[in-house]
Chain A
Amino acid sequence: MCCNTLVIMFVYNEVTKIGKGATMFKKYMIVVFILIATLTLSITSFAIDEDTTDEDYVHIISPVVGESGKTILNDSLFISIYVQAEDTLLLSMIKKEKPIFTFEEEKTEKAEFVDVRPLLTASAASTEEKVTLAEVTIVELSKEDIFSAYQIAEMDLEILTDELEMVTSDIVKISSLLDESLPLYNATYKLTVEETESLSYYEAVMLSYNEAVNEFIMWENRYNKLFETIVVDQEEMIVDPAFPYFEHTVANITPGNYELFITNIEGEIIKTFAFEIVTEDTIAESIKEDENIFGNIFDPDLFE
């Protein structure tokens, strides 16, 4: 607003000079012009002000971890977060356990499932109904089912990756003839039937590959979730605006890897924070090997 005032003053002075010799109509138009200019500037100013909002700010104060992402075990884990946000935020935390399955035996056993996803020919690509495990209606899967599905998805992906590599190398030559940017480009080149089939097959494999990637990611997530324990389940982060600090204590915490998520109501992740809780003995041993390993939060003298 102060800028507006200066502008107005300047314009007024200048206009006054002009207006001294002007007719009444011209003076009237000058006044209208000044008014419009002032209003425009004011509106712009407010508009700019409205656009300049403080961005949402979330700062995880505790737990405090060293450079290695580790913190010492206490009876409880104290979480403190500074929250400046318009929307409601939710706090979740999971503990990641180490997998307990043995892979070798089951991998061999599941090799036969490779045939579940047959390689698609170009002609079959469009007509054959694709059936994946993900499309099957599953009410509830056991850990073993999920593990199997994950393994299958992994293998399918491996197979399709190899296939895609092979098909890609086959059509490189064709692509170079059709790509304008490449030196071998031939605008008049006419594809043979085999070449056309190869291109179609490539597209089909690419499609299958993308699907396999998605399935793999899905099953990988489900598989990883088998080893995740929910420690904090979408706790609403309610704070007083005068003191926007959210606190939560997790009792009876145990050593392990944890991940903290802050999400909004729509499930979008605002912030994540992964850390490991270790016992003092673990730290003491590690510090003996490398004094700097735990960075700033641990004083090696403590363990002398």
Chain B
Amino acid sequence: MKIYSEIFLIQIYLNSGGDMKDFIRSLLLISLTISALIMTGAVFMTESPEIVESTIKYDTNDLIKLIRPQNYVFSFGDLFIKIYDDSYENVPLRSEYEAVFKSFIDAPLEKKLGTSNEDTWNEQLKRKSMRVDYSFDVPLKDLLELYKYNVELNSEEIHISSVLFLLNRKDVIYIYDKQTDKYYSLSGSEPLKWIDELYVDIGQVKLDIDTYKTLEDRYALLQTGLRKYDLEQENLLLTPMALEIDYPKYNIVKEIGEGQPSNEILERYARSIFDDDLDFVKKSVYSNNEIIFIYGYGEKVFKVSGDGSLEYTVKVNENAAKEAIDFKKGLEKSLTQINKMGDTSSTLYMSGYKQIETTNAIETVYYFTYTRDGIPIYFSDMRDGHLIEIRFVNTELVKAKKNIRIAISINLVDPHFKKDFKSIMVKNKLAFELGYINDRPFTTVDAEDLYQMSQQEMSSLETKYMVVGDELIPTWHIVIADTKYIINLIDGELIKDSSN
């Protein structure tokens, strides 16, 4: 090698005509050319940093905690108690419910899944019962698997949107699948544990603010105001009976603090999200208070927006196989990602689930939210109001977005107007009438009956805490005909929803 180098150098010297300057110039030129070739090679030959998803293995209980019911409804015949929280006046509602469910599943006889119908469901609702509503349509098989229940149900894919337990009938539970609008009965033998005790406990501690009646029981619209229209379908929607709809409001701040977050905070988040590897991470700050961390050539991006949202995106692998992520696996990965993106509230739960199939991929989205006093939080700046969105394309996580607020103080509000259900609704009468006409342009309902008809067509009423500026406001989310309305329970006024 040394000899060849010497010969090479002598050749260069001779070619330069023996002139030292020319020799040095030639030598430099050749050196530069060789260096360029080497470095170019280095650039193309070096592999990109591998995207490694680190998933923590969670205890099943951690995952089960996320699949919490949205609310529990106890029927006492002509009135109902609707509870949003997992615990109610020291009654451990959720744990008792899960124990009953487990006991039913564990009961000796084989479980038989049968079909039921809406009439039966509505009839059973009036009996002494407990109904559990979920915030999304939980795949039954996945739920049973999560609970490690060994139950074989030979049937099509069923989801639990609601499940009904009758106080005086222990050998059957009823299931409603909102996704397919179907009703089922699940029969077995009588379990060791049932809802008796729970039912009695709730009956003893129930509060006025949690008392509800069905719309038809309350107003008998079919027999009174709307009698001339000969309607047959009773509206069994639960309406609150409290004389004073009284919830506090809260002052809130962004998770990452107000104004520009400090470098220390940003780095902490970035380290957590990029698994402590900031070597290939570049930070950019934009004029609209947006801060972006780009990993590599944009394979992974972490964005902190001026509106307080945190967003993590990963480039989609175009060559990945078309495959839906397993429910449990997706839940684990979601929880891992959420924990990487800041502190997690103990009230965190799964509030939505969607799966969409396209030509080349199956997209799965898990939604999560927090609660305040058991009531779910709704943020109209986020899709469908959920605080956290975790998106998978096939089996890979591609997006995690989080927009959280932290409550820092409570505001007890003195009511300055009559705040029962009827008063609040009548206050917004005109909006409901106009909305009804818009949804039902060919209606033959008389003008003076429009409001009553709009009440008859009310299909949903849920209480949610909503992020409005720097406050967390108690609200009602109501659906009348085809329109959704949000009512601020502090002042009784309508709020515009920008989530869709």
Q: Which residues of A contact B (CB under 8 A)?
A: 59, 61-62, 64, 72, 74-76, 78, 80, 82, 240-245, 247, 249, 297, 299, 301-302, 304
Contacts and interface: CB of A to CB of B under 8 A. Distances in A.
A247 B239 CA distance: 13
Given A78-B241, A82-B225, A243 B455 contact: yes
Given A64-B78, A242-B448, A243-B426, A302 B168 contact: yes
A297 B217 CA distance: 12
Contact of B220 (A61, A78, A299, A302): A61
Contacts of A297: 78
Nearest to A301: B168
Contact of A243 (B211, B213, B243, B452): B452
Given A243-B452, A245-B422, A301-B168, A80 B241 contact: no
Given A76-B208, A243-B455, A304-B168, A59 B223 contact: yes
A-B pairs with the 10 shortest C-beta distances? A82-B224, A242-B451, A61-B220, A240-B426, A59-B224, A245-B219, A243-B426, A243-B451, A242-B429, A302-B128
Nearest to A248: B243
29 contacts: A61-B220, A61-B223, A72-B77, A72-B78, A74-B79, A76-B211, A78-B79, A78-B218, A80-B218, A80-B220, A82-B219, A82-B224, A82-B225, A240-B429, A242-B429, A242-B451, A243-B225, A243-B425, A243-B426, A243-B451, A243-B455, A245-B219, A245-B225, A249-B241, A299-B127, A301-B127, A301-B168, A302-B128, A304-B168
Interface in B408-451: 420, 422, 425-426, 429, 448, 450-451
Interface string B209-232: 001010001111001110000000
A47 B128 CA distance: 55
A76 B76 CA distance: 13
Contacts of B217: 62, 64
A304 B170 CA distance: 12
Contacts of B426: 240, 242-243
A237 to B, nearest CB: 13
Interface in B306-363: none
B422 A243 contact: yes
A140 B326 CA distance: 83
B422 A61 contact: no
A299 to B, nearest CB: 6
Given A64-B78, A243-B455, A247-B422, 12 more contacts: A62-B217, A64-B217, A74-B78, A75-B208, A80-B218, A243-B422, A243-B451, A243-B452, A244-B225, A245-B218, A302-B127, A302-B167
Contacts of B78: 64, 72, 74, 297
B219 A80 contact: yes
B275 to A, nearest CB: 56
A59 B452 CA distance: 16
Contact of B218 (A62, A72, A76, A302): A62
Q: Which residue, B76, B77, B243, B452, has most C-beta atoms of chain A within 10 A?
A: B77
A32 to B, nearest CB: 40
Nearest to A80: B218
Interface residues of B, number: 31
Nearest to A81: B224
Contacts of B218: 61-62, 78, 80, 245, 247
Interface in B435-483: 448, 450-452, 455
Nearest to A63: B78
A6 B372 CA distance: 69
B450 to A, nearest CB: 8
Contacts of B220: 59, 61, 80, 82
Nearest to A249: B243
A230 B427 CA distance: 32
Q: Which residue, B219, B451, B452, has most C-beta atoms of chain A within 10 A?
A: B219
Contacts of A61: 218-220, 223-224
A241 to B, nearest CB: 7
A154 B164 CA distance: 60
Contacts of B206: 75
Interface in B6-28: none
A245 B217 CA distance: 12
Nearest to B213: A78
Contacts of B425: 243
B452 A242 contact: yes
A247 B220 CA distance: 13
A301 to B, nearest CB: 6
Contacts of A247: 218, 420, 422
A74 B76 CA distance: 9
Contacts of B225: 82, 243-245
Contacts of A241: 448
A80 B421 CA distance: 13
Contacts of B420: 247
A284 to B, nearest CB: 12
B208 to A, nearest CB: 7
Contacts of B168: 301-302, 304
Contacts of A245: 218-219, 224-225, 422
Interface string B122-135: 00000110000000
Nearest to B220: A61
A302 B211 CA distance: 21
A75 B220 CA distance: 22
